[in-house]
Structure 1
């Protein structure tokens, strides 16, 4: 699979989605970080939740979290058609295609339209997302079915990691939840933030895990521009809130 065109690289913030039904949404926090092949996408509806670990949230709060979305994988572009091959998903795998028709109104403003015209989305590139653009796919060292990725573009990062338990296919996440195991199904992490050129590195601005917002993804002394970032043992051993006991290992792109 070829690299995506350079004009897609960076971080795109969704300003609006409008459906043919007339429904619109400009309130959900949506960020799509695109590298030459890997991508990650985070979608958090507005909700006032306590900044607590999942284990300390009540069932109502957990159901609110189940409305979040996020995914990561590999992007393919052919002409004006863009397809995101999801290899990690916050919601249950639906086996459906994520594909849209893309039109650049300007170099920094992108319109995505459904192939059946059911919706259109307005995306704008964040100015500080130009620059170094790279990513790494990861697997748990002791479990190849548990995956993650760390992607960076300019001043931004997005870390995505699959949940600690297996989830059945299809439906909506809330339909799979029960009081006994609800928090385990919500351990999929997507954490997005900035490193501010090393001034306040790895600060999480949005996360599917409420407790993580405002906290560092990685220790402040880990250089986000380092060439050996993805092989740094400190990164591989501790990356993420629910890091595997034996850490991560670098893996081929899916």
Structure 2
């Protein structure tokens, strides 16, 4: 069954996630596009395509220089566990090697965050950079699925695979790791350039998928060019109980059963696009609106 239809059919059976159990600041939930990154050397990048989708406990991240022309060896995308240090108020990520398009960690520092309106400012503790993220989601279905196990149906053998799906209203992100034989071939090398120079085929390297787009328009950005303009693979799902969904799908011409755990489920969630402030600030903005808000608009 189609995943969206399945969620609608299960609305009486699936209990919405208790938002009070979310350890992250609620402003971090949703789908974010990077507006800019500014570095310590005075340079700013406003053109690289960067998306951050956040579920309750995991992140999907995609970074491309260009929609289609980013060289295969330079594409970036990963799926990782999100770690929030409440005491230090810093965010970090645990990304396994088989869940990262690149085979090294590109962003080693944790992040300190400040939220204003629909904007999240992410600061590196060393002041190496600051990133300006903008919430893209407004309201609607909020669903996060994280793969627990994968089984090759013909042999009934378990396969080492990682995958995750996050839906925020109409927006979608999907990540799926390389099949283990392709990942194992890449692991001995310190970077993808070395792996390719040693004879690893570009198709093997490019097998890790991170795709971002929408339910209505399909894939708009991806590590895999052939996925562009295609609909997300949301067919073949069934509910098997205990907050678990199963999907049967083909990967590289072979059929697999993917068992997903529901990480978060809210049938209709209102994503945060505004933040609170003082009464004095409200008064100030109203008084100075003719100047302050003359060119102001919501930007994403």
Same fold (TM over 0.5): yes
Cα pair distance change 1:168/1:73, threshold 3 Å: same
Match of 2:194 in 1: 175
* 1:213 and 2:191 aligned: no
Match of 2:100 in 1: 89
* 1:151 and 2:151 aligned: no
Residue 29 of structure 1 contacts residue 43 of structure 1 at CA under 8 Å; is this kept in 2?
Answer: yes
Higher mean displacement: 64-73 or 131-140: 131-140
Match of 1:237 in 2: 248
Cα pair distance change 1:189/1:74, threshold 3 Å: same
Match of 2:112 in 1: 101
Distance 1:133 1:29 in 2: 23
1:86 positional shift? 1.6
Deviations 1:98-138 (A, max 9, x none): 5111111x13101111111111111010143x433231221
Deviations 1:8-50 (A, max 9, x none): 111011011111123322111111011111210111111654x
Cα pair distance change 1:127/1:94, threshold 3 Å: closer
Match of 1:247 in 2: 257
Residue 93 of structure 1 contacts residue 170 of structure 1 at CA under 8 Å; is this kept in 2?
Answer: no
Cα pair distance change 1:243/1:72, threshold 3 Å: farther
Match of 2:219 in 1: 204
1:206 positional shift? 0.8
Cα pair distance change 1:143/1:111, threshold 3 Å: same
- TM-score norm. by structure 2 comes to 0.66
DSSP-derived class of the 1:92 partner: coil
Query: What is the Cα-based RMSD across aligned positions, in Å?
Result: 3.1
DSSP-derived class of the 2:131 partner: strand
Distance 2:207 2:94 in 1: 21
Distance 1:127 1:154 in 2: 6
1:75 positional shift? 1.2
1:2 positional shift? 5.7
Higher mean displacement: 146-155 or 178-187: 178-187
Unaligned runs of 5+ in 1: 50-60
Residue 191 of structure 1 contacts residue 205 of structure 1 at CA under 8 Å; is this kept in 2?
Answer: yes
- TM-score norm. by structure 1 comes to 0.77
Distance 2:72 2:80 in 1: 22
Residue 137 of structure 2 contacts residue 171 of structure 2 at CA under 8 Å; is this kept in 1?
Answer: no
The counterpart of 1:29, out of the listed 34, 49, 52, is 49
Which has more radius of gyration? 2
Distance 2:140 2:103 in 1: 34
Distance 1:115 1:243 in 2: 45
Match of 1:52 in 2: none
